[in-house]
Amino acid sequence: MDIIVCIRRAPTTDARIKPAADGKNYDPAGVNYDISEYDKFAIEAGILLKEKHGGTVTILTLGPSAATKEMRTAIAMGCDAAHLLVSDANHDAWATAQALAEKIKTLPHDMVLFGWNSVDNQSSATGQMVAELLGLPSVSVAVALDVADGQATVDRLAAGGNRERYSVKLPAVVTCTKGLNKPRSANMKGIMAAKKTAVPETPANAPADGVSVVKLDPPPARPEGKIVGKGAEAAVVLAKLLREEAKVI
Amino acid sequence: MSDVLVFVEFSDGAATKAGLQALGAGSTLAKALGGKAIALVIGNNAGELGKHGADRVLVAGGDAVGSYSPDGFARIVAEHAKSTGAAAVLASATPMGKDFFARAAAIAKCGLAADCVELKVEGGKPRAVRPVFAGKALATVEAPGTLWATLRPNVFAEVSGGSDAAPETVPVTFGPGDLKAVVKEIVAGVKGKLDVAEAEIVVSGGRGLKDPAGEGKQNWANLEALAETLGAAIGASRAVVDAGWRGHGEQVGQTGKTVSPKLYIACGISGAIQHLAGMSGSKVIVAINKDDNAPIFKVADYGIVGTVEDVVPALTAALKETLGS
Ligand SMILES: Cc1cc2nc3c(=O)[nH]c(=O)nc-3n(C[C@H](O)[C@H](O)[C@H](O)COP(=O)(O)OP(=O)(O)OC[C@H]3O[C@@H](n4cnc5c(N)ncnc54)[C@H](O)[C@@H]3O)c2cc1C
């Protein structure tokens, strides 16, 4: 199986996010980066499919040159090859999808995997957009994935914890979430292999954004709260406040 | 280019709350743009959407859409976005909307403003405000052409009144055999269970409730009772989900669901930055924690310092009293 896993380099989730001087982007000062959380489940899913069916797992990223670090982490986990489409801009899902789809068209692919949502832009859209551009079926938010006879059976986490089951023809796009697997950590052999693996970089041919940011603001500050009291006795006071002051019940 | 097309989500033959909220938002936006709000329903029953702000109601039904299909639903919405020439195309940011609206926008060669919490008109154009980094920042976005957006549940108000628009049946231009992915079956879950991201009230449990298979058994039963009293959905911290105490669908936070209910009650949750990111947009936050230094108290409107063992059942009893009177 030829498997492509698209991963994103994103600020770690403990990062404090402040608008930059331009008022549109975030200030990168002091921000550390990692593979966007859900993409780790996509990497693991790709490796598991390879272990079961043979083939290769190729990592694809649109991002700055620094993203080769996250891509090498993915190779160290057990992926085989990687391509970086170099761009320093924070593209939206539509621009990202077009750049990725153009590259994927040139690579053999039976399965294209994504994380279901990025921890920064949070559009949960790129995978489905790539699928549309390539004319492929998509199943998002997968919690189970199995491939047999050119078909993928995928369970998707829908509203209220329901699981919807799909059976789609390969090639297909699947976006992955927690519960699908437990992403492995890299072992020493993988880390050595990753060091030796070339990560070719080509300038991204990313088109204009579909939606562009005109302004980035910090969230409104929450008004000062109050401690209602201690222990069980405070519950009666709280119930009254929720009804009479906050008017939410 | 001043009309607004709204995909109104249905479940079990009725418009969902989130769907009516999206229609309300669409109606308000259409008025500001000087156009009409056009509701689009996929299925066989359109309800009475004129009473909820729709100036026109389009219904696309038949065999091809008997079951949910992301590419099928996307095609229908994209076709009507084109035929109506809408300035904005909206849906709810529910698991369904999040799934297929990106495909629909891609057919229209447009981007998507996902999970928006505000819509406005500036310079004659629709703009949307959406949380990024799970609410650590708010981005105001615009599109060069049609603005495609999904709207976060519980943020926009439903509207009443409008028109007595009769449903207009619109043809579906493809058959079941043209679909790439279709739901085959629902394999697990409770029918009709409210999603934590759509609930008006969320009661969340953290590690402080302890293992439900061990000493925390009674705590989780107490939490369920509190949720039931309030008609709330249960949420959870990642610590709880990672321990396997609750399902991932209930995780609130930057790597879970971002929620904006009118009331969020955090029980035995410390308030790590990733958790706060996912729930700080709630209207009213209550925290119950035995540690008066827990960071959750910094975002809470009301806090009780105490153990979940003592406070949660006492709160359920007090609320029953208040709600009963
Ligand atoms: C990449 C990454 C992503 C993450 N994403 C998320 C996310 O999306 N959502 C999320 O929630 N977390 C996330 N986390 C984890 C986060 O950092 C915290 O570890 C987690 O939120 C802690 O969960 P908790 O508050 O339940 O547990 P703890 O931090 O252990 O807090 C337990 C709290 O319970 C209180 N307590 C204990 N016993 C009692 C009692 N008897 N009565 C009352 N109070 C009691 C304690 O005082 C404490 O404040 C993420 C972490 C990483 C690294």
> Is B193 within a domain?
no
Helix then strand then coil, in percent of chain A rounded to 5, is 30, 30, 40
Q: Residue B189: which of A137, A162, A246 has the nearest Cβ?
A: A162
> Is B190 within a domain?
no
Boundary residue ending a domain (B113, B147, B178)? B178
3-state secondary structure of B81: helix
Q: Are residues B134 and B225 in the same domain?
A: no
- Give residue A149's pLDDT: 97
Check if the beta carbon of residue B6 is closer than 8 Å to that of residue B37. yes
- Give residue B188's pLDDT: 73
Residues of chain B contacting residue A140, judged by C-beta atoms under 8 Å apart = 70, 98-99
Give the strand order in the sheet containing B183-188: A201-203, A81-86, A56-63, A2-6, A111-115, A172-176, A138-148, A151-157, A163-169, B183-188
Q: Is the pLDDT of residue B1 over 80?
A: no
Q: Which of A155, A177, A238 would best serve as a mutation to test chain B binding (most B beta carbons within 10 A)?
A: A238
Decide if A182 touches B, using CB distance below 8 A: no
Q: Are residues B16 and B138 in the same domain?
A: yes
Q: Is the pLDDT of residue B62 over 90?
A: no
> Is B185 within a domain?
no
- Give residue A160's pLDDT: 80
Structure tokens at B152: 């976060």
> Is B188 within a domain?
no
> Is B310 within a domain?
yes
Boundary residue ending a domain (B115, B144, B178)? B178
Q: Are residues B169 and B236 in the same domain?
A: no
> Is B67 within a domain?
yes
Instruction: Tell me how many domains chain B contains.
Output: 2
pLDDT, mean of residues A123-146: 98
Do the Cβ atoms of B306 and A232 come within 8 Å? Answer: yes
Q: Are residues B250 and B317 in the same domain?
A: yes
Q: Measured between alpha carbons, how far is B41 from B58 in angstroms, rounded to an integer?
A: 6
Residues of chain B contacting residue A229, judged by C-beta atoms under 8 Å apart = 304-305
Which residues form the domain of B277?
Answer: 201-323
3-state secondary structure of B287: strand
> From the CA of A155, how far away is ligand 1's center (Å)?
28
Q: Measured between alpha carbons, how far is B60 from B46 in angstroms, rounded to an integer?
A: 9
Residues of chain A contacting residue B138, judged by C-beta atoms under 8 Å apart = 216-219
Biggest alpha carbon–alpha carbon distance for chain B: 61
H or E element at residue B11: strand B10-11
Q: Give the CATH number for residue B282.
A: 3.40.50.1220
pLDDT in tens, B207-258: 999 999 999 999 999 999 999 999 999 999 999 999 999 999 999 999 999 9
Do the Cβ atoms of B255 and A13 come within 8 Å? Answer: yes
Boundary residue ending a domain (B178, B211, B243)? B178
Do the Cβ atoms of B193 and A163 come within 8 Å? Answer: no
Check if the beta carbon of residue B229 is closer than 8 Å to that of residue B316. yes
Q: Measured between alpha carbons, how far is B236 from B252 in angstroms, rounded to an integer?
A: 6
Q: Measured between alpha carbons, how far is A64 from A60 in angstroms, rounded to an integer?
A: 12
Distance from CA of A197 to the nearest CA of B (A): 30
Q: Is the pLDDT of residue B192 over 80?
A: no
- Give residue B46's pLDDT: 86
Do the Cβ atoms of A178 and B248 come within 8 Å? Answer: yes
pLDDT, mean of residues B282-286: 97
Domains of chain A: 2-203 (3.40.50.620), 219-249 (no CATH)
Q: Are residues B160 and B220 in the same domain?
A: no
- Give residue B191's pLDDT: 66
Structure tokens at B216: 């925390």
Supply the ipTM of this predicted assembly.
Answer: 0.96
Task: Search chain B and give the residue with CA nearest A139.
Answer: B181
- Give residue B179's pLDDT: 97
* Cα-based angle A107, A108, A111 (whole degrees, multiple of 5): 110
Q: Measured between alpha carbons, how far is B244 from A227 in angstroms, rounded to an integer?
A: 31
Distance from CA of A241 to the nearest CA of B (A): 9
Q: Is the pLDDT of residue B177 over 70?
A: yes
Decide if A141 touches B, using CB distance below 8 A: yes
Q: Are residues B125 and B205 in the same domain?
A: no
> From the CA of A222, how far away is ligand 1's center (Å)?
21
Q: Give the CATH number for residue B135.
A: 3.40.50.620
Residues of chain B contacting residue A212, judged by C-beta atoms under 8 Å apart = 141-143
Do the Cβ atoms of B139 and A166 come within 8 Å? Answer: no
- Give residue A205's pLDDT: 82
pLDDT-based confidence at A106, cuts 50/70/90?
A: very high
Q: Are residues B161 and B214 in the same domain?
A: no
- Give residue B45's pLDDT: 84
Q: Is the pLDDT of residue B262 over 70?
A: yes
> B1 or B239: which carries more pLDDT confidence?
B239
pLDDT in tens, B72-103: 999 999 999 999 999 999 999 999 999 999 99
- Give residue B163's pLDDT: 85
> Is B315 within a domain?
yes
Q: Are residues B21 and B131 in the same domain?
A: yes
Q: Are residues B97 and B132 in the same domain?
A: yes
For ligand 1, whether the C-beta of B52 sits within 6 Å is no
User: Which atom of ligand 1 has the smallest separation from the CA of B206?
Assistant: 26
Size of interface A-B (CB pairs under 8 A): 302
Average pLDDT in chain B: 95
pLDDT in tens, A195-247: 999 999 999 987 899 999 999 999 999 888 999 999 999 999 999 999 999 99
pLDDT in tens, B108-137: 999 999 999 999 999 999 999 999 999 999
Q: Are residues B159 and B212 in the same domain?
A: no
Contacts for B177 with CB less than 8 Å, ≥ 6 apart? none
Give the strand order in the sheet containing B302-305: A226-230, B302-305, B284-289, B263-267, B201-205, B233-236
Contacts for B275 with CB less than 8 Å, ≥ 6 apart? B237, B238, B252, B253, B254, B269, B296
Do the Cβ atoms of A26 and B187 come within 8 Å? Answer: no
Structure tokens at B73: 């639903």
- Look up residue B44 and give its DSSP letter: S
Decide if A95 touches B, using CB distance below 8 A: yes
Structure tokens at A166: 């799909």
Q: Is the pLDDT of residue B325 over 90?
A: no
Share of chain B above pLDDT 90, in %: 90
**Cβ atoms < 10 Å from Cβ of B103:** 30
> Is B23 within a domain?
yes
Q: Is the pLDDT of residue B170 over 70?
A: yes
Contacts for A195 with CB less than 8 Å, ≥ 6 apart? A72
pLDDT in tens, A9-48: 999 999 999 999 999 999 999 999 999 999 999 999 999 9
Q: Crossing angle for the helix pair B308-324 and B217-230, nearest 10 degrees?
A: 20
Do the Cβ atoms of A132 and B311 come within 8 Å? Answer: no
Residue nearest to atom 23 of ligand 1 (CA): B239
pLDDT-based confidence at A159, cuts 50/70/90?
A: confident
